[in-house]
Amino acid sequence: MFQAKARADILKEVVNVVSTLVDEAKFSMNAEGLTIKAVDPAHIAMVDLTLGKDAFEEFKADEVEIGIDIDKLSQFLKLARSDDIIDLKHDEEKRRLNISVGDITRRMSLIDTTGMSDPKVPSLNLPVTLTVKVDDLVQGIKASETVSDHIALVASPEGFEMTCEGDMDQVNWKKSKKDMESLEAPSSVRSLFPLEYFSNMLKAVPSGSLATMHLGNDYPVRVEFKIAGGKGDVRYLLAPRIESGD
């Protein structure tokens, strides 16, 4: 059993975060709320999202898993204004999710979850932790997108920088420690990442938010941020591209 009411803007944030990596996802519900864990088809990135029951206007659920076509859900949510209340009801008998806003109801067939992976979040010991305003990061990303398809994240005790090197041009975005929300870096680290993935992840972070990143040398980056006005948590993991030694 699952039925809930939620503001459209909160559901749009969830869809934004998940659609960055996958077209369909398994939504796992219990009495405490909703969780989504998914890995992109290329196995380069992962999302781990938790939305507490207090993020909803109303929420009732037993232990249940439903497979949702994210694109269909996104299309429906485009019909709603941010402060509209969306009504969600799981019809177990017909294996559908009934979604209503105002006078419109969509009965959406669900995807079979048996073939969907249940990814485990790896526990990584990443030595550097830093927190910055996401809008600043997105500005640095936008400057990099025409230069190369990879971006280097470099942290040191003095600050944090993102560097993008193409065949001809280079873009460098830099923040010193005093201009960051926080920085814990016992040593210098550097990792290279696919720019498109990293860019899409950051663009899914609500504007005006803070993003916390955990970094190591040639290790995945973990990006953490809040959604739903602090009532939801998101963790993205992105695998590095190991630079060749030549």
* Owning domain of residue 160: 128-238
Distance CA 17, CA 4 (A): 20
What does the DSSP 8-state code read for residue 111?
B
Quick one: 9 and 44 in the same domain?
A: yes
User: What pLDDT is recorded for position 105?
Assistant: 96
Residue 246 lies in a domain: no
Helix (H, G, I), strand (E, B), or coil: what is residue 87? Answer: strand
User: What pLDDT is recorded for position 34?
Assistant: 97
- In angstroms, the Cα distances linking 113 to 24, 27, 233, 235 are 10, 9, 23, 22
User: What pLDDT is recorded for position 115?
Assistant: 81
User: What pLDDT is recorded for position 246?
Assistant: 39
Q: Is 112 exposed, middle or buried (0-12, 13-18, 19+ CB in 10 A)?
A: exposed
**CATH number of the domain where residue 103 is located:** 3.10.150.10
How long, in residues, is the chain? Answer: 246
CB 45 within 8 A of CB 236: yes
Quick one: 201 and 234 in the same domain?
A: yes
Residue 226: enclosing H or E segment and its boundaries?
strand 221-227
Residue 245 lies in a domain: no
Residue 243 lies in a domain: no
Residue 231 lies in a domain: yes
User: What pLDDT is recorded for position 118?
Assistant: 82
pLDDT in tens, the chain (246 residues): 999 999 999 999 999 999 999 999 999 999 999 999 999 999 999 999 999 999 999 999 999 999 999 999 999 999 999 899 999 999 999 999 999 999 999 999 999 998 887 888 888 899 999 999 999 999 999 999 889 999 999 999 999 999 999 888 999 999 999 999 999 999 999 999 999 999 999 999 999 999 999 999 999 999 999 999 999 999 999 999 876 543
Distance CA 196, CA 94 (A): 39
Residue 117 lies in a domain: no
User: What pLDDT is recorded for position 223?
Assistant: 97
User: What pLDDT is recorded for position 146?
Assistant: 87
CB 239 within 8 A of CB 220: yes
Total domains in the fold of the chain: 2
Residue 118 lies in a domain: no
